[in-house]
A and B are shown apart, each in its own frame.
Chain A
Amino acid sequence: MSSQDIPEENLPAERATDQHAHGAVGVADEKDPFADPGLPPHEHRVQDIDERAAKRSERAVAFMFTLSMLATVGFIASYVGIPHDKAVYVFPIGHINALNFALGMTLGVALFAIGAGAVHWARTLMSDEELIAERHEIAAPPEVKAQVLADFKQGAKESAIGRRKLVRNTMFGALALFPLSGVVLLRDLGPLPGTKLRHTLWSKGKLLVNMNTNEPLRPSDVVVGSLTFAKPEGLEEDDHEFQTEIAKAALMIVRIQPDNIKDKRELEWSHEGIVAYSKICTHVGCPISLYEQQTHHVLCPCHQSTFDLSDGARVIFGPAGHALPQLRIGVNDEGYLEALGDFEEPVGPAFWERG
């Protein structure tokens, strides 16, 4: 569908070409009151007429440039003289780093003054007479186009690309194939996913270690209304894989009166009302960290998905698509909370193979 089939008369008439020469002063045209009166006559500024005013402008511009020089000296002096950890009170911002403030302001003034001087110079001392430049159509004239097309045809004919199809087709084949090497080279950007997203460090018998104290948790450490974060036993902050492992294994633990737990499986997987859920939001993976004691709702601060921890951590609001995975816990012989296995479903955001 081209636009050729729009009738010519639907296009507005070509704009009246400027018959009015530049500079013609606006005299009401008898024929067309809306005709272009041409460029209005140039009006002189005070600096054009009065040399004293021009001198004032000159001094103003020179003042700006001098100010800039002084500010640069101030910048260097600040750099040398102000200790980098000194704070200074600046109204109304408050206490800020003195060096940053001094360097930034002096640099700002040094630059701004150059700009202000140059602009003032242009506006008051350089000619402000408007000039006219003609435009020329971007498209080439027909004879140039004809020449180019003829040249192209000649070149194409001389190359014999149209006649020797075997050459042409194999060339296209070669050019189309070689980028594949580049694609193949990208393969080692990372390992294949495999089932890595399905497993975490949790396994049967691993103790739940308090994230803050680095001590294994006992049931008595978890009181109603508190929110505790835990990691699996053996995972230390300076481990090489700590970040990647905690991104999946992070756990949040709360205690709910067993009577208040609505979900049957949740109750089974808990210990005396202590329930352990993945801390990683099932939406896009933010760590959930806002807990409402009375309602047992947890809220993800990133996108506000809200989960009900007393009802299988089902989603009650927000963009998350499914409940938080629960970790089955119990107590070992020594009275510490332990995991009774890994999460039964992948933690964190959903993905194609999740199922």
Chain B
Amino acid sequence: MSTTANTTDARSSRDKAPAGERVADWADGRLGIYGLAKANMRKIFPDHWSFMLGEVCLYSFIIIILTGVYLTLFFHPSMNEVEYHGSYIPLQGQLMSEAFNSTMHISFDVRGGLLIRQIHHWAALIFLAGMFVHMMRVFFTGAFRKPREVNWVFGFLLFVLGMFTGFTGYSLPDDLLSGTGVRFMEGAVLSVPVVGTYLSFFLFGGEFPGGDFVARFYSVHVLLLPGIMLGLLVAHLILVFYHKHTQFAGPGKTNNNVVGMPLLPVYMAKAGGFFFLVFGVIAAIAAIASINPIWTMGPYRPDQVSTGAQPDWYMGFSEGLIRVMPGWEINAWGHTLVLGVFIPLIIFPLVLVAIAVYPFIESWVTGDKREHHILDRPRNVPTRTAFGVAWITWYMVLLIGGGNDLWATHFHLSINAITWFVRIAFFVAPVLAFIATKRICLGLQRRDHDKVLHGRESGIIKRLPHGEFIEVHEPLSQEALHTLTAHEQYEPAAIGATVDENGVERKVKGPEKLRAKLSKSYYGEDGQIAKPTAEEYKEITSGHGHH
């Protein structure tokens, strides 16, 4: 009968199907994998070197988790004092916390332990550096525009959480250098008005350093922060898939399509292979370049310190803030307002937030509600690019401040002079960088403009019959013409009519005025060079032929 026939049919087809297909059928019946694969298996990804920066972050994060799990197998997050009896002779018999002792054990007595520790730390530095550069790529190409603003915020949070995961991580070995960093953090917490001492006592379980912070930092470092980051990272990647990747303008590439190669097989191989490349390079770095050699610093003692004390690079800008700030203190009514420490503590998040909120400011200025999938060339958005460069300059000035002692010793400069330089540059350098960048962008736009209208400089010098020398310009291909003129140019938003049809005057509010002003600086005459029109092109090319 029909049912029997059906079952035999199904059985026979199952027998015939290859094993892989049968497994896939089993999974599909329970997880619906075919639907998922249909959408994603041949998903198209565009190719550009700068799209690898985010991959570097992803892969170094995976490397950090893998090596981090290994390290937890040997690390003891305890501040109990023990005497050292490991194989590193110079520290024999010294008192140290179990945290330091177990890190020494990992470094000297576990085979490969030092390598994994160094991979873990190097990968963390590369993770943060990767996120920084990836964020800059997204910023300068305008990839943060609608619909990707939320993903920008996810990425930003990953960067900030990465900084604190790094800080809690390098504080765990309880060595002299990291302990000094924790002490700095305690001093900063103490400066908070009204509740500072309470926060500090709750954080450290009493007075600094107490016996708790390593264990507390440990759970924050291995569970709380990475857990949140893993969630954000998955959300970040889901959105990348969902939005599809951005691409640069070019022949055949529009705002409505994605041009590139399929995930299977090309990006499986390229991106999958890239994981191994990143891991391989980090392993090789860890083999030859020592990082955080805690045995040369020794265990932490609150009454000892060494010169050249520096945080990991991503915390350097906060170090700069704290170093160059004048020591203002206000004492009144039996209380102390420690402005010299508290102001840097407030500016620290503001430096980061300044770049994080930028996409929302720009979308407010443009009022543009459309989706953008074609990337901007930085030169074509001079004000954004100038803002980004000003921000980087600000950040770098603070990094110089954070390493003022190293600048002084390595370049034989006066530390007082460097500190004063940073104090002034903190305010002046971003402005100068902004102006210079904007001018450079406009210059590059003019060059593109000329290139489109007059062609490319061929380098061939021709002597005309009457003796004049000219350089031969070659006209651009249509691909190049299209690529150089594909960008959009906004008009500055004007303030709408202030008198309506009935002659009633409308009040122009502050925000509206501000937006008109900003819009003018973005897209007015000083903000961009009008791109060549087809008419201009035709007039020049038909008028007097080629130059």
Write the residues of chain A forming the contact surface with B, with a CB cutoff of 8 angstroms.
1, 3-7, 9-12, 14-15, 17-18, 20, 22, 26-29, 31-40, 79, 84-85, 90, 93, 96-97, 99-105, 107-119, 121-123, 126-128, 130-135, 137-138, 186, 189-193, 196-197, 211, 229, 231, 237-238, 242-244, 246-248, 250, 279-280, 283-287, 289-290, 301-305, 315, 317-322, 348-355
Contact = CB atoms under 8 A, between A and B. Distances in A.
Contacts of A112: 276-277, 279-281, 284
Nearest to B374: A15
Interface stretch (B26-34, B229-237, B247-255, B386-394): B247-255
B17 interface: no
Nearest to A84: B111
Chain A interface, >50% SS class: loop
B488 A114 contact: no
Given A84-B108, A315-B327, A34 B183 contact: no
Contacts, number: 401
Given A11-B490, A18-B257, A304-B419, A352 B336 contact: yes
Given A101-B287, A102-B287, A321-B328, 15 more contacts: A26-B479, A84-B108, A104-B287, A108-B281, A111-B276, A133-B257, A137-B371, A138-B371, A243-B301, A244-B302, A247-B303, A280-B303, A289-B304, A304-B415, A317-B416
A287 B302 contact: yes
Interface in B494-547: 494, 496, 509, 511-512, 515, 534, 537-538, 541
B273 to A, nearest CB: 3
B446 to A, nearest CB: 17
27 contacts: A3-B364, A26-B477, A36-B251, A100-B114, A104-B286, A108-B283, A111-B283, A114-B280, A115-B280, A119-B274, A121-B273, A122-B270, A131-B42, A132-B252, A133-B258, A135-B255, A196-B207, A247-B207, A285-B183, A287-B304, A317-B419, A319-B340, A321-B341, A352-B335, A354-B331, A354-B336, A355-B331
Given A33-B481, A104-B115, A190 B277 contact: no
Interface of B: 42-44, 81, 87, 95, 108-109, 111-112, 114-115, 118-119, 147, 180, 183-184, 186-188, 190-198, 200-210, 212, 242-244, 251-252, 254-262, 265-267, 269-270, 272-284, 286-290, 300-309, 322-329, 331, 334-338, 340-341, 363-364, 366-371, 373-374, 404-405, 415-416, 419, 452, 477-479, 481-482, 485-486, 488-494, 496, 509, 511-512, 515, 534, 537-538, 541
A131 B279 contact: no
A283 to B, nearest CB: 7
A319 B44 contact: no
B491 A9 contact: yes
A301 B297 CA distance: 15
Nearest to B273: A118
A289 B305 contact: yes
A22 B251 CA distance: 9
Nearest to B194: A352
Among A79, A127, A319, the one with the most B-chain Cβ atoms within 10 Å of its Cβ is A319
Given A238-B81, A351-B196, A352-B336, A284 B252 contact: no
Given A238-B81, A238-B95, A355-B336, A348 B187 contact: yes
A197 B207 contact: yes
B331 A243 contact: no
B159 to A, nearest CB: 24
A15 B284 contact: no
Given A128-B261, A192-B198, A349 B341 contact: yes
Contact of B258 (A118, A126, A132, A321): A132
Contacts of A17: 254, 256
B540 to A, nearest CB: 11
A40 B184 CA distance: 59
Contact of A244 (B206, B265, B336, B515): B206
A342 B284 CA distance: 54
Contacts of A318: 323, 327, 419
Contacts of B194: 352
A322 B486 CA distance: 60
Contact of B255 (A15, A79, A104): A15
A317 B209 CA distance: 27
Contacts of B269: 118-119, 121-122, 126
Contacts of B108: 84-85
Nearest to A247: B302
A319 B323 contact: yes
B184 A93 contact: no
B186 A211 contact: no
A350 B330 CA distance: 10
